[in-house]
Amino acid sequence: MKFDNIKTLNQRLKKNKSKDDKDYFNFLKYIEKQKIPTTEIIFQFPIYLGEKNLARHIQFYELFKKVQNLSGHIADVGTWKGSSMIFMSKLVKILENNSGTKVYGFDWFKGHVQGKNDKKEHQGKYKSSYAELKKNLKMLKLNNTKIIKIDLVKNLRSFFNKNKWLRFKYVFIDCGTEKVLENAVPLFWSKLLKNGVMILDHYNNPTSPSESYIIDSVIGSNSIEKFHFSDHPSAFIIKKK
Protein backbone atom coordinates (compact mmCIF):
# COMPACT_ATOMS: atom_id res chain seq x y z
CA MET A 1 0.00 0.00 0.00
CA LYS A 2 1.39 3.41 -1.00
CA PHE A 3 1.50 6.36 1.35
CA ASP A 4 1.89 10.01 0.36
CA ASN A 5 1.99 11.67 3.75
CA ILE A 6 3.22 15.11 2.70
CA LYS A 7 0.47 15.39 0.05
CA THR A 8 -2.13 14.34 2.63
CA LEU A 9 -0.82 16.84 5.17
CA ASN A 10 -0.94 19.65 2.61
CA GLN A 11 -4.57 18.77 1.89
CA ARG A 12 -5.35 18.81 5.61
CA LEU A 13 -3.72 22.20 6.00
CA LYS A 14 -5.90 23.67 3.23
CA LYS A 15 -9.04 22.09 4.67
CA ASN A 16 -8.59 22.97 8.36
CA LYS A 17 -9.14 26.54 9.50
CA SER A 18 -8.38 25.99 13.19
CA LYS A 19 -5.03 27.40 14.28
CA ASP A 20 -4.46 24.35 16.51
CA ASP A 21 -5.02 22.05 13.54
CA LYS A 22 -2.70 24.04 11.31
CA ASP A 23 0.02 24.08 13.99
CA TYR A 24 -0.25 20.32 14.44
CA PHE A 25 -0.20 19.48 10.73
CA ASN A 26 2.79 21.77 10.25
CA PHE A 27 4.47 19.85 13.08
CA LEU A 28 3.71 16.57 11.27
CA LYS A 29 5.23 17.94 8.06
CA TYR A 30 8.34 18.78 10.06
CA ILE A 31 8.42 15.22 11.49
CA GLU A 32 8.10 13.71 8.00
CA LYS A 33 11.17 15.65 6.84
CA GLN A 34 13.25 14.47 9.82
CA LYS A 35 13.00 10.84 8.67
CA ILE A 36 12.69 9.63 12.26
CA PRO A 37 12.76 5.81 12.50
CA THR A 38 9.32 4.25 12.70
CA THR A 39 10.21 2.36 15.87
CA GLU A 40 11.18 5.61 17.58
CA ILE A 41 7.82 7.18 16.70
CA ILE A 42 5.93 4.12 17.95
CA PHE A 43 7.85 3.78 21.23
CA GLN A 44 7.63 7.54 21.91
CA PHE A 45 4.14 7.97 20.44
CA PRO A 46 2.84 10.62 22.94
CA ILE A 47 5.28 13.10 21.41
CA TYR A 48 3.76 12.70 17.95
CA LEU A 49 0.10 11.97 18.64
CA GLY A 50 -2.30 14.90 18.27
CA GLU A 51 -4.68 15.84 21.07
CA LYS A 52 -7.75 15.19 18.89
CA ASN A 53 -6.63 11.70 18.00
CA LEU A 54 -5.77 11.00 21.63
CA ALA A 55 -9.22 12.29 22.72
CA ARG A 56 -10.83 10.01 20.11
CA HIS A 57 -9.21 6.93 21.58
CA ILE A 58 -9.91 7.98 25.16
CA GLN A 59 -13.57 8.19 24.11
CA PHE A 60 -13.44 4.65 22.69
CA TYR A 61 -11.92 3.45 25.97
CA GLU A 62 -14.44 5.25 28.19
CA LEU A 63 -17.34 3.77 26.23
CA PHE A 64 -15.76 0.32 26.33
CA LYS A 65 -15.68 0.55 30.13
CA LYS A 66 -19.42 1.28 30.18
CA VAL A 67 -20.22 -2.07 28.53
CA GLN A 68 -17.37 -4.23 29.77
CA ASN A 69 -19.61 -6.42 31.93
CA LEU A 70 -22.25 -7.03 29.25
CA SER A 71 -22.29 -10.39 27.46
CA GLY A 72 -21.99 -9.24 23.87
CA HIS A 73 -19.46 -8.71 21.10
CA ILE A 74 -18.01 -5.60 19.43
CA ALA A 75 -18.74 -4.38 15.89
CA ASP A 76 -16.64 -1.95 13.88
CA VAL A 77 -18.82 -0.97 10.90
CA GLY A 78 -16.75 0.61 8.13
CA THR A 79 -13.37 -0.81 9.14
CA TRP A 80 -11.17 0.70 6.38
CA LYS A 81 -7.52 0.12 7.43
CA GLY A 82 -8.54 -1.33 10.81
CA SER A 83 -7.30 1.29 13.26
CA SER A 84 -10.39 1.54 15.48
CA MET A 85 -11.07 -2.19 15.18
CA ILE A 86 -7.54 -3.14 16.23
CA PHE A 87 -7.62 -0.64 19.09
CA MET A 88 -10.73 -2.39 20.42
CA SER A 89 -9.16 -5.81 19.80
CA LYS A 90 -6.22 -4.82 21.98
CA LEU A 91 -8.49 -3.47 24.72
CA VAL A 92 -10.33 -6.80 24.75
CA LYS A 93 -7.03 -8.67 24.87
CA ILE A 94 -5.84 -6.57 27.82
CA LEU A 95 -9.09 -6.24 29.80
CA GLU A 96 -11.30 -9.16 28.72
CA ASN A 97 -8.84 -11.81 27.66
CA ASN A 98 -10.82 -14.73 29.07
CA SER A 99 -14.32 -13.39 28.42
CA GLY A 100 -14.96 -14.80 24.95
CA THR A 101 -15.68 -11.31 23.58
CA LYS A 102 -14.95 -11.06 19.86
CA VAL A 103 -14.39 -7.99 17.68
CA TYR A 104 -16.05 -8.01 14.25
CA GLY A 105 -14.91 -5.66 11.50
CA PHE A 106 -17.38 -5.08 8.65
CA ASP A 107 -16.27 -3.63 5.29
CA TRP A 108 -16.16 -4.46 1.59
CA PHE A 109 -12.74 -2.75 1.14
CA LYS A 110 -13.73 -1.13 -2.19
CA GLY A 111 -14.13 2.42 -0.90
CA HIS A 112 -17.12 4.77 -0.90
CA VAL A 113 -19.74 4.73 -3.62
CA GLN A 114 -21.61 7.98 -3.27
CA GLY A 115 -25.40 8.28 -3.55
CA LYS A 116 -27.34 11.38 -4.56
CA ASN A 117 -27.45 12.73 -0.98
CA ASP A 118 -23.82 12.03 -0.11
CA LYS A 119 -20.77 14.26 -0.31
CA LYS A 120 -19.41 13.80 -3.82
CA GLU A 121 -15.78 14.42 -2.82
CA HIS A 122 -15.72 11.10 -0.93
CA GLN A 123 -16.33 9.03 -4.06
CA GLY A 124 -13.73 6.25 -4.21
CA LYS A 125 -12.09 7.18 -0.91
CA TYR A 126 -11.53 4.79 2.00
CA LYS A 127 -10.50 1.89 -0.18
CA SER A 128 -8.14 -0.48 1.65
CA SER A 129 -6.52 -3.90 1.51
CA TYR A 130 -8.40 -6.83 3.01
CA ALA A 131 -5.32 -9.07 2.61
CA GLU A 132 -3.04 -6.60 4.38
CA LEU A 133 -5.43 -6.20 7.29
CA LYS A 134 -5.72 -9.97 7.67
CA LYS A 135 -1.92 -10.22 7.65
CA ASN A 136 -1.63 -7.52 10.33
CA LEU A 137 -4.12 -9.36 12.56
CA LYS A 138 -2.19 -12.60 12.15
CA MET A 139 1.16 -10.97 12.95
CA LEU A 140 -0.34 -9.23 16.00
CA LYS A 141 -1.88 -12.55 17.10
CA LEU A 142 -5.28 -10.94 17.56
CA ASN A 143 -7.26 -14.16 17.48
CA ASN A 144 -10.22 -12.40 19.10
CA THR A 145 -10.96 -10.52 15.85
CA LYS A 146 -12.92 -11.49 12.74
CA ILE A 147 -13.05 -9.49 9.50
CA ILE A 148 -16.37 -9.77 7.69
CA LYS A 149 -15.77 -8.83 4.05
CA ILE A 150 -19.28 -7.85 3.03
CA ASP A 151 -21.48 -5.55 0.97
CA LEU A 152 -23.39 -3.95 3.83
CA VAL A 153 -26.23 -2.89 1.51
CA LYS A 154 -26.89 -6.23 -0.17
CA ASN A 155 -25.66 -8.92 2.22
CA LEU A 156 -25.85 -7.79 5.85
CA ARG A 157 -29.36 -9.10 6.48
CA SER A 158 -28.33 -12.48 5.08
CA PHE A 159 -25.27 -12.50 7.36
CA PHE A 160 -27.43 -11.91 10.43
CA ASN A 161 -29.95 -14.53 9.32
CA LYS A 162 -27.09 -17.05 9.26
CA ASN A 163 -25.83 -15.84 12.65
CA LYS A 164 -29.07 -15.33 14.58
CA TRP A 165 -27.29 -15.84 17.90
CA LEU A 166 -24.95 -12.86 17.41
CA ARG A 167 -25.41 -9.93 19.82
CA PHE A 168 -23.34 -6.79 20.31
CA LYS A 169 -22.64 -4.61 23.32
CA TYR A 170 -20.57 -2.03 21.41
CA VAL A 171 -21.18 -0.89 17.82
CA PHE A 172 -19.09 1.78 16.10
CA ILE A 173 -20.77 3.21 12.98
CA ASP A 174 -18.19 4.71 10.60
CA CYS A 175 -19.73 4.16 7.16
CA GLY A 176 -21.13 7.55 6.23
CA THR A 177 -22.94 6.91 2.92
CA GLU A 178 -26.73 7.02 2.85
CA LYS A 179 -27.48 3.56 1.42
CA VAL A 180 -25.08 1.82 3.80
CA LEU A 181 -26.46 3.67 6.82
CA GLU A 182 -30.08 3.00 5.81
CA ASN A 183 -29.39 -0.73 5.62
CA ALA A 184 -26.85 -1.19 8.39
CA VAL A 185 -28.04 1.00 11.26
CA PRO A 186 -31.46 -0.68 11.84
CA LEU A 187 -29.91 -4.16 11.71
CA PHE A 188 -27.07 -3.36 14.11
CA TRP A 189 -29.48 -1.52 16.42
CA SER A 190 -31.67 -4.64 16.57
CA LYS A 191 -28.61 -6.69 17.55
CA LEU A 192 -27.44 -4.23 20.21
CA LEU A 193 -28.02 -5.33 23.82
CA LYS A 194 -29.96 -3.24 26.30
CA ASN A 195 -27.43 -0.87 27.93
CA GLY A 196 -25.11 -1.45 24.97
CA VAL A 197 -23.55 1.52 23.17
CA MET A 198 -23.76 2.65 19.56
CA ILE A 199 -21.05 5.16 18.62
CA LEU A 200 -21.59 7.54 15.69
CA ASP A 201 -18.64 8.99 13.83
CA HIS A 202 -20.55 11.67 11.88
CA TYR A 203 -23.85 12.39 13.64
CA ASN A 204 -24.81 16.07 13.41
CA ASN A 205 -21.92 16.56 11.00
CA PRO A 206 -22.01 17.72 7.34
CA THR A 207 -19.43 15.09 6.39
CA SER A 208 -22.27 12.56 6.32
CA PRO A 209 -25.44 14.52 5.45
CA SER A 210 -27.82 11.57 5.92
CA GLU A 211 -26.51 10.17 9.18
CA SER A 212 -28.50 12.35 11.59
CA TYR A 213 -31.97 11.67 10.21
CA ILE A 214 -31.30 7.95 9.67
CA ILE A 215 -30.12 7.56 13.27
CA ASP A 216 -33.08 9.61 14.56
CA SER A 217 -35.52 7.35 12.69
CA VAL A 218 -34.12 4.20 14.33
CA ILE A 219 -33.30 4.94 17.97
CA GLY A 220 -36.69 6.03 19.27
CA SER A 221 -36.61 7.99 22.53
CA ASN A 222 -33.05 7.03 23.47
CA SER A 223 -30.82 10.00 24.21
CA ILE A 224 -27.98 11.03 21.93
CA GLU A 225 -24.97 11.99 24.03
CA LYS A 226 -21.40 13.20 23.55
CA PHE A 227 -18.24 13.66 25.59
CA HIS A 228 -17.30 17.25 26.33
CA PHE A 229 -13.62 16.58 25.54
CA SER A 230 -14.01 15.09 22.04
CA ASP A 231 -15.92 15.92 18.84
CA HIS A 232 -14.93 12.83 16.87
CA PRO A 233 -16.77 10.45 17.10
CA SER A 234 -19.48 13.07 17.38
CA ALA A 235 -22.10 11.16 19.41
CA PHE A 236 -23.06 7.95 21.18
CA ILE A 237 -26.26 6.29 22.37
CA ILE A 238 -26.73 4.01 25.35
CA LYS A 239 -29.63 1.73 24.37
CA LYS A 240 -32.14 1.94 27.22
CA LYS A 241 -35.32 1.10 25.30
> What is the signed CA dihedral for 95, 92, 84, 171, rounded to 10 degrees?
-110
Residue scoring higher pLDDT (157 or 6): 157
Q: What is the rounded CA–CA span in Å between residue 63 and residue 44? A: 26
The whole-number pLDDT of residue 17 equals 62
Q: Are 49 and 223 in contact (CB under 8 A)?
A: no
Can you tell me the mean pLDDT for 64-88? Answer: 97
What would the pLDDT profile of 25-63 be if each residue is shown by its tens digit?
888 889 888 999 999 999 999 999 999 999 999 999 999
The whole-number pLDDT of residue 120 equals 73
Q: What is the rounded CA–CA span in Å between residue 31 and residue 147? A: 33
The whole-number pLDDT of residue 74 equals 98
Residue scoring higher pLDDT (17 or 188): 188
What would the pLDDT profile of 137-162 be if each residue is shown by its tens digit?
999 999 999 999 999 999 999 999 99
pLDDT of 170 > 60? The answer is yes
The whole-number pLDDT of residue 11 equals 62
What would the pLDDT profile of 175-188 be if each residue is shown by its tens digit?
989 999 999 999 99
pLDDT of 3 > 60? The answer is no
117: CB partners within 8 A, 6+ apart: 178, 209, 210
pLDDT of 239 > 60? The answer is yes
What would the pLDDT profile of 196-236 be if each residue is shown by its tens digit?
999 999 999 988 989 999 999 999 999 999 999 998 899 99
Residue 186, preceding bond cis, omega within 30 degrees?
no
Residues in the chain: 241
Q: How far is CA 87 from CA 24, 98, 115, in A?
A: 23, 18, 30
What would the pLDDT profile of 103-142 be if each residue is shown by its tens digit?
999 999 998 787 777 677 767 788 899 999 999 999 999 9
pTM score, two decimals? 0.91
Q: Are 100 and 129 in contact (CB under 8 A)?
A: no
Residue scoring higher pLDDT (33 or 92): 92
Among candidates 200, 74, 201, which has minimal Cα distance to 145?
74
Q: What is the rounded CA–CA span in Å between residue 202 and residue 186? A: 16
Report whether CATH 3.50.50.60 matches the domain 51-238: no
Q: What is the mean pLDDT of the chain?
A: 91
- In the chain, where are the structural domains located? 5-48, 51-238
